[in-house]
């Protein structure tokens, strides 16, 4: 390698450059020649010196926002797409850093400066802006559109007699082509020919233009993919920035890795840091639940939130991303209610958009096992059953909630007791389907403990009555469910007629009791 090689290693764009770049201008042979160890050493030394010089000149250029998260060893690497996107993100960041360096080089100490802002690949994150409504592509001006198109006279020529110059004149055309290269984006390396009297042939110019366009399209495609990539693992660049910010602010110490990837959410483990405010204590270990911002999986869950009157007014007005945030918000509110009632559940730390941070149930990065995965002694099994019966009653009566996804999958065994998690879909009992959800919960619980050998376990209908305080007497499932639906309908009719929501169902045929 020669000195050009060293310079190329530090060049900003790893993309294909014009052909002249790879050729040595001094005509040295392009084939590699064997060289002595000393040569190799001096080349390395040159590289090192160059790096040192660069670092000294631009010390702030650290790969932006690099946190423990992205370098974490135990990050889920099972998705090729995810990996590719993360690499692209890294690449884009390096590119931006280089862009910033170029900007600095050009501007120097000059009072008037130019900005490459519009050419950045990664756009700065601003938590308070309503960036959701603004697509970066809409806000950029098109870098490839010539500001002032050079006009050719309509008649296609200028001058007279033997001095006539047509638009096809090689020299004029070549110069014009060279000038038009300025309109390519800065990442597109056209060399410094613009300052010289360089004449580009139409053929070369068109080839370059074509390449510039396809590069832009490629870049736009990648960005578009990134915007929607949450579908894969819920950590799209937006989410990643949210997480980086939590680490950067010191609120979280480190994000160690992924605990669970579900259809609707991804859960990470993190070590807590220090809170900015004195009164708040961050738990030593946290769970970060990231709600996936893809709508596909949430579509069939609309009914949980659409009909929840607490969210009803807002639902219709929101865009999809905001609806996802409402899931996170719902989980936060429900957890807070449970916490206040003393039900063992994660404690809310903070909610940021679709990311909910809560206390971690488990220890040393190991999450507490789900009830379905743990083998309990008969005694513990019985203890767990009575605890759950109690919690379901508290949830219904004190929190005015029905879990709506209660099963051995959403109960953790920790510290000798059962902890309830996953309450984003929980609703109030007067939700149009609230009692049906409760019945389903009862069926899951009852079946689990009956199978688990707890002789005292009530059957699903008995459990339903014990939790709700209702007294449905039907002795078979079909009739029981019919009665439940009749109750729900009665409640809905009351809402229709009175415009008010009932807070409790009456158990003995009395007129329903109003909350307000
Ligand atoms: P999903 O909707 O994906 O089921 P969950 O809230 O149930 O979301 O979380 C998925 C899994 O992540 C849980 O089964 C549990 O193993 C783990 N998990 C969630 N929250 C916590 C927490 N606070 N502490 C420990 N583990 C948790
Ligand atoms: Mn779950």
* Ligand in closest contact with the CA of 327: 1
In the chain, % helix, strand, coil (3-state, to 5) comes to 45, 10, 40
Q: Is the model's pLDDT at 230 over the cut of 50?
A: no
Nearest-10 Cα torsion for 99, 100, 103, 105: -100
How many H helices and E strands in the chain?
18, 11
Q: Cα(350)–Cα(360) distance, rounded to whole angstroms?
A: 13
The domain locations on the chain are 157-226, 231-367, 369-502
Range among 179-193, 263-277, 343-357 rated most confident? 343-357
Task: List active site positions.
Answer: 405
Architecture of domain 231-367: 2-Layer Sandwich (3.30)
Query: Is residue 426 within 8 Å of residue 402, measured between CB atoms?
Result: yes
Q: Cα(268)–Cα(245) distance, rounded to whole angstroms?
A: 15
pLDDT of residue 48: 66
What is the three-class DSSP state of 117? helix
Residue among 317, 287, 254 nearest 422 (CA): 287
Q: Is 410 in the pocket of ligand 1 (CB under 6 A)?
A: yes
Cα 446 vs. chain centroid, distance in angstroms? 37
| The two three-digit tokens of residue 272, written as one number | 């807590």
Q: Is 289 in the pocket of ligand 1 (CB under 6 A)?
A: yes
Cβ-based neighbours of 4, under 8 Å, separated by 6 or more: 24, 25
Q: Cα(202)–Cα(82) distance, rounded to whole angstroms?
A: 41
Q: Whose CA is nearest to atom 25 of ligand 1?
A: 361
Taking only the tens place, the pLDDT of each residue in 348-366 is 999 999 999 999 999 999 9
What's the whole-number mean pLDDT along residues 117-133?
A: 48
Strand partners, 514: 502
Q: Whose CA is nearest to atom 8 of ligand 1?
A: 422
Query: Is residue 291 within 8 Å of residue 354, measured between CB atoms?
Result: yes
What's the whole-number mean pLDDT along residues 149-171?
A: 55
Q: φ, ψ for residue 24 (rounded to 5)?
A: -80, 125
pLDDT category, 204, cuts 50, 70, 90?
confident
Measured CA to CA in angstroms, residue 438 lies from 120, 163, 333, 441, 464 at distances of 51, 92, 19, 5, 7
What's the whole-number mean pLDDT along residues 503-509?
A: 49
Q: Which residue has better confidence, 294 or 212?
A: 212
One DSSP character per residue, 257-288 reads EEEEE-SSEEEEEEEE---SSTT----SEEEE
Q: Is 422 in the pocket of ligand 1 (CB under 6 A)?
A: yes
pLDDT of residue 189: 54
Distance 440 CA to ligand 2 centre (A): 15
Residue written as tokens 């469910």?
481
**Percent of the chain whose pLDDT exceeds 70:** 55
Taking only the tens place, the pLDDT of each residue in 466-486 is 999 999 999 999 999 999 999
Distance 469 CA to ligand 1 centre (A): 30
Residue 492's CB is within 10 A of a number of other CB atoms, namely 14
Longest Cα–Cα distance of the chain, Å, equals 111
Cβ-based neighbours of 142, under 8 Å, separated by 6 or more: none
The atom of ligand 1 lying closest to the CA of 266 is: 3
Query: Is residue 432 within 8 Å of residue 488, measured between CB atoms?
Result: yes
Q: Is 95 exposed, middle or buried (0-12, 13-18, 19+ CB in 10 A)?
A: buried
Residue among 287, 260, 251 nearest 359 (CA): 287
If you average pLDDT over every residue of the chain, what do you get?
73
| The two three-digit tokens of residue 10, written as one number | 């530090």
Which of 76, 258, 259 is the pocket-test mutation for ligand 1 (most atoms within 8 Å of CB)? 259
Q: At what angle do helices 460-468 and 434-451 cross, to 10 degrees?
A: 130
Q: Which residue has better confidence, 186 or 309?
A: 309
Q: Is 301 in the pocket of ligand 1 (CB under 6 A)?
A: no
What's the whole-number mean pLDDT along residues 142-149?
A: 37
pLDDT of residue 248: 95
Q: φ, ψ for residue 207 (rounded to 5)?
A: -65, -45
Phi-psi label, residue 48: left if phi above 0, alpha if psi -120 to 50, beta otherwise: alpha
What's the whole-number mean pLDDT along residues 336-347?
A: 98
Q: Which CATH class for the 369-502 domain?
A: mainly alpha
pLDDT category, 314, cuts 50, 70, 90?
low
Print burial letters for 98-110: b (CB count within 10 Å at least 16), e (below 16). Answer: bbbbebeeeeeee
Q: Which of 138-142, 341-345, 354-358 has the lowest mean pLDDT?
A: 138-142
pLDDT of residue 499: 72
Tell me if 231-367 shares its fold with 369-502.
no
pLDDT of residue 3: 42
pTM: 0.57
Taking only the tens place, the pLDDT of each residue in 5-52 is 443 444 444 444 444 444 444 544 444 445 555 655 665 666 666 666
Residue among 348, 295, 349 nearest 318 (CA): 295
**Percent of the chain whose pLDDT exceeds 90:** 41
List of long-range contacts for 131-139, beta carbons under 8 Å, 24+ apart: 132/319, 132/321, 132/322, 133/319, 135/227, 136/223, 137/220, 137/223, 137/224
Q: Cα(122)–Cα(106) distance, rounded to whole angstroms?
A: 21
Order of all β-strands in the sheet with 355-359: 252-261, 265-272, 285-291, 355-359, 348-352
What is the three-class DSSP state of 363? strand
* Ligand in closest contact with the CA of 412: 1
Radius of gyration, CA atoms only, the chain: 32
The atom of ligand 1 lying closest to the CA of 263 is: 3
Q: Which of 225-234, 246-255, 350-359 has the lowest mean pLDDT?
A: 225-234
Q: What is the DSSP letter of 252?
A: E
Distance 80 CA to ligand 2 centre (A): 25
Query: Is residue 201 within 8 Å of residue 172, measured between CB atoms?
Result: no
Q: Is the model's pLDDT at 403 over the cut of 70?
A: yes
pLDDT of residue 18: 44
Q: Is 346 in the pocket of ligand 1 (CB under 6 A)?
A: yes
């Amino acid at each position: 390698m020669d000195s050009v090689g060293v310079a190329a290693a530090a060049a900003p764009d790893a993309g294909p450059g014009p052909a002249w770049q790879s050729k040595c201008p001094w005509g040295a042979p392009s084939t590699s020649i064997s060289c002595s160890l000393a040569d190799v050493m001096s080349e390395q030394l040159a590289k090192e010196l160059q790096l040192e010089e660069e670092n000294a000149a631009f010390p702030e250029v650290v790969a932006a926002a690099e946190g423990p998260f992205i370098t974490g060893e135990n990050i889920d690497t099972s998705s090729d797409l995810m990996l590719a996107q993360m690499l692209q993100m890294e690449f884009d960041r390096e590119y931006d850093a280089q862009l910033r360096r170029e900007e600095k080089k050009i501007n120097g100490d000059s009072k008037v400066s130019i900005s490459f802002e519009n050419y950045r690949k990664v756009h700065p994150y601003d938590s308070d802006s309503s960036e959701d409504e603004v697509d970066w592509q809409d806000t950029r001006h098109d870098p490839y559109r010539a500001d002032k198109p050079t006009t050719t006279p309509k008649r296609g020529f200028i001058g007279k007699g033997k001095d006539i110059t047509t638009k096809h004149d090689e020299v004029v055309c070549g110069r014009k082509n060279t000038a038009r290269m300025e309109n390519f984006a800065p990442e597109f390396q056209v060399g410094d020919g613009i300052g010289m009297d360089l004449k580009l042939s139409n053929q070369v110019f068109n080839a370059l233009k074509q390449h510039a366009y396809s590069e832009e399209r490629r870049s736009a495609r990648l960005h578009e993919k990134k915007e929607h990539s949450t579908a894969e693992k819920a950590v799209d660049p937006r989410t990643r920035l949210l997480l980086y910010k939590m680490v950067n602010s010191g609120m979280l110490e480190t994000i160690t890795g992924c605990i669970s990837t579900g259809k609707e959410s991804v859960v990470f483990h993190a070590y807590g840091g220090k809170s900015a405010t004195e009164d708040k204590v961050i738990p030593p270990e946290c769970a970060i639940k990231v709600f996936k911002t893809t709508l596909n999986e949430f579509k069939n869950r609309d009914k949980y939130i659409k009909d929840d009157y607490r969210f009803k007014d807002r639902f219709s007005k929101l865009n999809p991303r905001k609806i996802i945030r409402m899931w996170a918000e719902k989980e936060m509110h429900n957890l807070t209610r449970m916490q206040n009632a003393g039900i063992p559940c994660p404690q809310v730390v903070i909610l940021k958009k679709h990311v909910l941070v809560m206390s971690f149930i488990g220890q040393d990065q190991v999450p507490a096992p789900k009830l379905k995965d743990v083998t309990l002694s008969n005694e513990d099994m019985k203890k767990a059953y009575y605890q759950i019966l109690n919690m379901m009653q508290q949830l219904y009566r004190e929190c005015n909630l029905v879990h709506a996804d209660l099963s051995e999958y959403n109960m953790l065994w920790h510290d000798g007791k059962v902890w309830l998690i996953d309450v984003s879909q929980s609703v109030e009992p007067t939700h149009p389907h609230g009692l049906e959800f409760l019945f389903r919960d009862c069926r899951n619980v009852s079946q689990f403990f009956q199978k688990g050998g707890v002789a005292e376990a009530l059957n699903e209908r008995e459990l339903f009555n014990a939790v709700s305080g209702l007294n449905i007497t039907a002795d078979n499932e079909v009739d029981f469910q019919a009665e439940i639906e009749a109750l729900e309908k009665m409640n809905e009719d009351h809402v229709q007629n009175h415009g008010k929501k009932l807070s409790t169902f009456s158990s003995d045929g009395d007129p329903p009791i109003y909350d307000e």
